[in-house]
């Protein structure tokens, strides 16, 4: 298997105040023609989310989303009626299949949440 090294300082970056994010592949406003994907992998985001902030309800389909909290807790809610708080040491795998609407928020008002999303 061929090894490809992408130094961390070469990642895409955006700071929205409540969200400080680094993108390994083209995502949102970051576009790099050589980093569209790696096989089926489309996203490897390194996110820091301010206390009590997050992503409001939004749709996904035909994908798997893996969320790995590194510090803090993330609250997930979705259109299938699931509500869960995911903490460090836990991993959430969400299958979007034909379609799902979900939201994700930092479950702690006072502390920053750090996570990887794949």
Please indicate, yes or no, if residue 4 is contained in any of the structural domains.
no
Query: Which residue is associated with the tokens 């949102």?
Result: 28
- Domain range for residue 20? 11-117
Please indicate, yes or no, if residue 91 is contained in any of the structural domains.
yes
Please indicate, yes or no, if residue 1 is contained in any of the structural domains.
no
Instruction: Report the domain count for the chain.
Output: 1
pLDDT of residue 89: 97
The CATH number of the domain where 86 resides is what? Answer: 2.60.120.10
- φ and ψ at 5, to 5 degrees? -105, 125
Residue 71 three-state SS: strand
Please indicate, yes or no, if residue 2 is contained in any of the structural domains.
no
pLDDT of residue 81: 93
Per-residue pLDDT of the chain (118 residues; tens, 9 = 90+): 788 888 999 999 999 999 999 999 998 888 999 899 888 889 999 999 999 999 999 999 998 999 999 999 999 999 999 999 999 999 999 988 889 999 999 999 999 999 999 9
pLDDT of residue 27: 85
HSE-CB of 37 using CA atoms within 13 angstroms: 4
Please indicate, yes or no, if residue 6 is contained in any of the structural domains.
no
């Amino acid at each position: 298997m061929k090894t490809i090294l992408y130094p961390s300082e070469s990642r895409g970056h955006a700071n929205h105040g409540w969200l400080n994010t680094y993108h390994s592949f083209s995502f949102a406003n970051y576009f790099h023609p050589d980093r569209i994907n790696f096989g089926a992998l489309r996203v490897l985001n390194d996110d820091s989310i301010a206390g009590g902030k997050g992503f409001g309800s939004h749709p996904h389909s035909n994908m798997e989303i893996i969320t790995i909290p590194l510090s803090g807790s993330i609250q997930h809610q979705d259109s299938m009626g699931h509500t869960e708080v995911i903490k460090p040491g836990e991993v959430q795998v969400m299958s979007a299949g034909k379609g799902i609407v979900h939201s994700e928020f930092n479950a702690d008002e006072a502390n920053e949440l750090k996570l990887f999303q794949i």
